[in-house]
Amino acid sequence: GVQLVESGGGSVQTGGSLRLSCVASESVYMNYCMAWFRQAPGKEREGVAAIANAGTKTVYVDSVKGRFTISQDNGRYTLNLQMNSLKAEDTGMYYCAARTCANWWLDSLAADRYSYWGRGTQVTVSS
């Protein structure tokens, strides 16, 4: 069945780093495109970074460019998000998600295009 399990969240100070991981079931990892989303209290879910074509294509929301890196570990069916230079506004619940890859480039960070979701891992950044 479909399984997406996130880990790696925690509490850090401004400027710190965290690495999130999402272990996917083989069927999802091999057949879908994946992404990271986040949701802060009182705000809508936001696409953070997406990846496709065996990791050769990546997309980032402007606010994390140069600070976050999305990657895949094909041997472990794992999606990663390395987050550096963290800011208070990066605080939120981070979710791993998967979707079909058709027309991925048109709306790779649109939450309503993703069919499968993990339960999330909390990231808290404080000064």
In DSSP notation, 5-33 reads: EEE--EEEETT--EEEEEEE-HHHHHHSE
Distance (Å) of CA 57 to CA 10, 52, 64: 28, 5, 16
Please report which confidence band the pLDDT of residue 104 belongs to, taking 50, 70 and 90 as the band edges: very high
pLDDT at 2: 79
Distance CA 98, CA 78 (A): 12
Neighbours of 127 (CB within 10 A): 7
Q: Does residue 122 have a pLDDT over 90?
A: yes
Please report which confidence band the pLDDT of residue 30 belongs to, taking 50, 70 and 90 as the band edges: confident
Taking the chain, what is the end-to-end CA distance rounded to the nearest angstrom? 41
Q: Average pLDDT for residues 88-95, to the nearest whole number?
A: 98
